[in-house]
Structure formats: C-alpha cells, structure tokens
Structure 1
Amino acid sequence: MSNAPLRIAVAGASGRMGRMLIEAVMAADDCQLAGALDVPGSPALGQDAAGFLGRTSGVHITADLKSGLANAEVLIDFTRPEGTMAHLAVCRELGVKLVIGTTGLSDTQKAEIAAQAKHIAIVQSPNMSVGVNVLMRLLDVAARALSEGYDIEIIEAHHRHKVDAPSGTALAMGETIAAALGKNLKDCAVYAREGVTGERDPSTIGFATIRGGDIIGDHTALFAGTGERIEISHKSGSRAGYAQGSVRAARFLRDKQSGLFTMNDVLGLR
C-alpha cells in the first residue's frame, strides 16, 4: 500500500457538514484535501477551502466537478440526492471512489449507485458515525430477543433545516429491526398517527419525527413491554463523529477497486 497521503475531495464544501469534513481531512496525517465542491452561485466559490479555519490549503472551492475532482482519489458527499447523483456520474467517469452520506435517496437512485459500484468503489451509509453503526448491531440483538410482547417505536430529532423525514438513520434503524424480525419495513412501518387511530397493531414499527432548533441528531429505539421498557439511544453533540467516520470510510476504500460497501464493512461488523 502506498504511503502517500490519501487525496480526498469534499462536496458541499461551504456547508456545516462540508466544513467539518474539511477540518477532519486536514487534521488527518495520512490524508490530503484534494478538492472542494459547491453549487453554482455559492458565495464561497473561488475561496480557499480551509479559509474558515484561518488556514491555507491551496484548494479553492469550485462548481466545476471535473476540475474539482481531477486530483482526488475519493470524494466524500453529504449533499442532496440530485447533487450526489451528478457527482456519482463524474466520479464514475474519472475513476474517483465515493463515500456517500447523503440521505433521502430514492430506490431508483440507490439502484443507480449499486450499478456504478460495479465500476468504482463506494461506501454508502445513512449515517457515518461509528457509534450509530454500533447502535445498529445492538438493535439487531435487541429485536431478536424482544420479538414478542414488545411494541417498537423509533423517535428521531434533528435541526430545523433538515429536509427529509424520517431521517435516513431512523429508516435504517427500522430496516435493521424489521430484518431481525423477518419482516420488510415497507409492510410494517407507521409514519403518522392522527385522530381516532384505534389500538396499536403490535406487528408495526412506529416512527416519530421532531424538527427544531440546532439539534444535530438524536435517535432512540423504544421497545415497550408490559411492566418495562428498553430504550437504545444515540445522541450526537457534534458533526465531528460523522466526519471522523467518513474519513475512516475513505481510508477503507484506498485498496478497493469496485464494490458497494457499508459502514459495517468499514468497521468489520458483518
């Protein structure tokens, strides 16, 4: 394996998550910031990508995908579905590997990512936090042990700017629990309750969504039985956990030529 720094580009470079990713890449001794992308019209275009840190990286934020990815080995993308799909096409063309943390992707978009993974290596996960991915393993164990006599609810909270609901992480939690129970989440999820709903169907998995303030991301799975309840939670106090996990995923891809991977692969949890 090469000892040269891993050359990483960051999409959404002027956003909250983009800046956290840039800071994480620049703090990693074995990584180098090699590109910074943002949308056309962004006031950050042309600026040094590390300027917000009071540092100079020599990498300027651009909306030109090909020039922004020209020197990169891996792109980390936490943007929106339409942006991610545009980035995916250019990454395939240039042979750039991809770490995708974008949520709200449609089934069609996920299928396209899987198709392109036959040509380039991709890590895709609704949550790049190491802690959240350990949480998923705990949920699998809990769901198998509590498969009878417990009602299951998933509660998530995020900042007022989040545009999709439930969060990708909450959906992944539901999918993990449903799979452990031998179910398909599409057949048992309940996303809204209003009015006279009748008694709760014990075979369902319920979701509750909270949006407000600057909440970075709280997720809880509630297993409510008779006389007891079990809550398995993860609360993010900073986006740093997502950034560190993303850099770890980028390192995982260094020696991969193609394939679609998840954080389970990155963390050896399979």
Structure 2
Amino acid sequence: MMVNNAPIRLALVAPDGRMGKAIALAVAEDSRFALDQNDADVLIDFSAPSALSATLERAMNTQTPVLVGTTGLESDAKAALEGAAKKVAVLQASNTSLGVALLADLVERAAHVLGDDWDIEIAEVHHRNKADAPSGTALALGEAAARGRSHPLRAERARDGTGLERQRGTVGFAALRGGSVAGDHDVMFLGPEERLILSHRAESRKVFARGTLAAANFLRGRMPGLYTMRDVIAAL
C-alpha cells in the first residue's frame, strides 16, 4: 500500500478570524500540514452560521471533505449537514479539543451508570465576546448525557424567578461570560450525599487548533458521511 507523505493541505473559510489565526500558527509548527486556499485536501469553517450554506456548497462542488466548527447554528443546519454528508465527508464539531471529545465520552458513560436519580447540571464560562449561550460544547455535553440516559435531551435553561421546581431527568445549563476565557466546562452529577464533577479547562485556542489538525488528518480521503470528534479519537 502506498503511503501519502505529502502535507495535508487546508483551506480556511475565515483565515483572519480567531480560530483561523490559531490554526495557521499550528500549521506553521507542524510539517504534516500546509495552507492552500485554492486546492485543499480539507476545508475548515470556523466562521459564522450565515456562511454554512456557501461552505457546504463549495465542499460538494470540489469534492473536498469539510470540518464545520461553527457554533450557534440554526435549526435547519442539521438537514444541510446531513445533505452534504451524502456527497462528501462532513465533520461537525462544536469543540475540536481532543480533551473535550474524551470528556463527552466520560459524560455519556457516567449518565448511563448513574441514571435519572442523579441530577445533571452543566456550567460553562467563555470570553465576553461569545455571542451564543449555552455554548455549543455545553449543549453537546448535554446531548452526550442524554445518550447515556437513552432519552432525548430535556434542557432547563436560564432559571430565574421564584417557586421553581427542578424536573427529574432534565439537564440544567448555566452560561457565564466575561474577560478572555477560552472555555471552561463543568458537568456536575448531583446525587444523594455525593457529587461527581467532570471538568475541562481550555487555556488557549491552541487546544482547538491542535484538535482541528487531528480532525483534518482523519478527514483526508474519508468516504462521504457525517462524522464527529468521537470518530476522530476512536481512530487515534
């Protein structure tokens, strides 16, 4: 079998954005990758929800695998991603950190073992400029917990007021914004007389950039389909 030693060429949809710059720095430090905006092996989009349609169209027209890391996507995005995945490999990730991918796996396993007798609360902190809340990562962790419990996610968001009553089997979300926090996530399992807390701290955008490169390595030459970071860590 021939081994392809050529660098994996990446095209960035938003090269001047925060993540675009972080990925460019990561590529500069890793000879396995190169930037090529015109002829890429993998297309990477960390831009805005409004750009998703054009990104997927470009990926399908050029038969290029695509990583979509944009958060705050509208409800119709799922259908668009699934449609594109019939023609090219599509990896959708609200967070490309390998640590967060492992955290989601642990959350699913814990939720399965502990069941609805334990309440689940997810708290996240991000920088003051983040426009969506809860974060896409927090929601993905909530979905992981729901998979572990084998039922759809039932979320309790933005609690306020009096006379509130927590519903059994729900997942609570709390979003905090301020400063320059890259991303903190805590998943709390609150049971009778004990608590289990699973946490992740992103100290810089480098962790997301490194995970993006791992995802790009996974995507190059991949058959059409809809993938997640769970597939990436399973292949490591």
**Range of TM-score over shorter length:** over 0.9
Q: Which amino acid aligns with 1:206?
A: G
- Separation in 1, partners of 2:196, 2:30: 38
Q: Helix, strand or coil: the match of 1:268?
A: helix
- Separation in 1, partners of 2:226, 2:27: 22
- Pairwise mapping of residues 97-112 of structure 1 onto structure 2 (< 5 A)? 97-112=65-80
- Separation in 2, partners of 1:11, 1:256: 20
Q: 2:161 matched to which residue of 1? A: 195
- The reply on whether 1:73 has 2:75 as its aligned counterpart is no
Q: Which amino acid aligns with 2:49?
A: P
- Separation in 2, partners of 1:159, 1:264: 26
The Cα of 1:192 is off from its aligned counterpart by 1.9
- Pairwise mapping of residues 194-213 of structure 1 onto structure 2 (< 5 A)? 194-213=160-179
- Separation in 2, partners of 1:171, 1:151: 16
Q: Deviations over 1:96-117 (max 9, x none)?
A: 2211111111231121111111
- Pairwise mapping of residues 1-270 of structure 1 onto structure 2 (< 5 A)? 1-35=3-37, 70-185=38-153, 188-268=154-234
Which range moved further: 191-200 or 150-159?
A: 191-200
Q: Helix, strand or coil: the match of 1:152?
A: strand
Change in 2 beyond 3 A, CA 1:202/1:257? closer
The Cα of 1:148 is off from its aligned counterpart by 4.2
Q: Helix, strand or coil: the match of 1:82?
A: helix
- Separation in 2, partners of 1:227, 1:121: 46
TM-score (norm 2): 0.94
- Separation in 2, partners of 1:162, 1:85: 22
Q: Which has the higher contact order (CA 8 A, sep 6+)?
A: 2
TM-score (norm 1): 0.83
Q: Helix, strand or coil: the match of 1:91?
A: helix
The Cα of 1:149 is off from its aligned counterpart by 2.9
Q: 1:57 matched to which residue of 2? A: none
Q: Deviations over 1:25-75 (max 9, x none)?
A: 22221111112xxxxxxxxxxxxxxxxxxxxxxxxxxxxxxxxxx311211
Q: Helix, strand or coil: the match of 2:211?
A: helix
Q: Helix, strand or coil: the match of 1:103?
A: coil
Q: Deviations over 1:218-265 (max 9, x none)?
A: 011111122211110101001111111111111111121321111111
- Separation in 1, partners of 2:43, 2:32: 16
- Separation in 2, partners of 1:75, 1:23: 17
Percent identity for Structure 1 against Structure 2: 43
- Separation in 1, partners of 2:178, 2:224: 39
Q: Which runs of 5+ in 1 are unaligned?
A: 36-69
Q: Which runs of 5+ in 2 are unaligned?
A: none
- Separation in 1, partners of 2:61, 2:75: 22
Moved over 6 A (4+): none
Q: Deviations over 1:118-166 (max 9, x none)?
A: 1111111111100000001110111112114321111011111111111
- Separation in 1, partners of 2:115, 2:219: 36
Q: How many residues align?
A: 234
Q: 1:44 matched to which residue of 2? A: none
- Separation in 1, partners of 2:24, 2:55: 18
